[in-house]
């Protein structure tokens, strides 16, 4: 019974660690998030732009010593994983300073692994069931993240399709107005052409 409770608590913990966040980064703004970890801990960042402008944003990951670990400009999506080189607070920043007036909606997920100290302690009491639970949890997290990214991509493609559809409808309406105007103009011209002029 205690094994089942342990499994459920572990699964709930892992699912809570895999939540994706949606933020809005205004034009000329930058949003930063912080994670305090020990040296050797594995960190990961996965992001995708859900809507806004050309679906691009600048991304930076900064270490506790102020060193830039990862930097990308005008990225639509990306994934980056690294091991913490020193203990302290790591900063993840999304910058929309290049945009003049369009805010961007960013979906991102920050993954934090176990610290080497915790892994060493767990290694002493590991059994096969816990290893299988850990592996299953990692696969569930991966599937959940992929579903979230697919939802974002679906929203992006739907938005593009709706925009294209509305432009096609507007262009068809404009063409219809032009045709009606040309028809009326030709009727008026022909009527004037065949009109009998009386000389008084």
| Mean of pLDDT values over 74-88 | 89
Highest mean pLDDT among 19-28, 117-126, 144-153: 19-28
Supply angle C-alpha 136, 141, 145, rounded to 5. Answer: 150
Mean residue pLDDT of the chain comes to: 80
Residue 61 has pLDDT above 60, yes or no: yes
129-135-136-141 Cα dihedral, nearest 10 degrees: 150
| Mean of pLDDT values over 128-153 | 76
Q: Summarize pLDDT for 145-161 with one digit per residue, the tens.
A: 777 777 777 877 787 78
Residue 126 has pLDDT above 80, yes or no: no
Residue 21 has pLDDT above 50, yes or no: yes
In sequence order, what are the beta bridge partners of 59? 72, 94
The band of 179, judged by pLDDT with boundaries at 50, 70 and 90, is very high
Structural domains of the chain, with CATH: 2-155 (2.60.120.680)
Residue 95 has pLDDT above 90, yes or no: yes
The pLDDT, as a whole number, for residue 121 is 58
The band of 30, judged by pLDDT with boundaries at 50, 70 and 90, is very high
């Amino acid at each position: 019974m205690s094994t089942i409770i342990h499994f459920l608590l572990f699964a709930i913990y892992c699912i809570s660690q895999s939540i994706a966040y949606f933020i809005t980064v205004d034009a000329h703004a930058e949003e930063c998030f912080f994670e305090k970890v020990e040296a050797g801990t594995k960190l990961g960042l996965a992001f995708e732009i859900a809507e806004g402008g050309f679906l691009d944003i600048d991304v930076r990951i900064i270490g506790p010593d102020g060193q830039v670990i990862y930097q990308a400009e005008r990225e639509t999506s990306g994934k980056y994983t690294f091991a913490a080189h020193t203990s302290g607070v790591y900063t993840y920043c999304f910058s929309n300073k290049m945009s003049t007036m369009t805010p961007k909606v960013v979906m991102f997920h920050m993954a934090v692994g176990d610290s080497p100290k915790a892994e060493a302690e767990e290694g002493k009491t590991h059994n096969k069931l816990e290893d299988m639970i850990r592996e299953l949890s990692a696969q569930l997290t991966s599937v959940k993240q992929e579903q979230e990214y697919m939802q974002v991509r679906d929203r992006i493609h739907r938005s593009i399709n709706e925009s294209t559809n509305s432009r096609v409808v507007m262009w068809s309406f404009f063409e219809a107005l032009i045709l009606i105007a040309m028809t009326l103009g030709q009727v008026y011209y022909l009527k004037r052409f065949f009109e009998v002029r009386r000389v008084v």
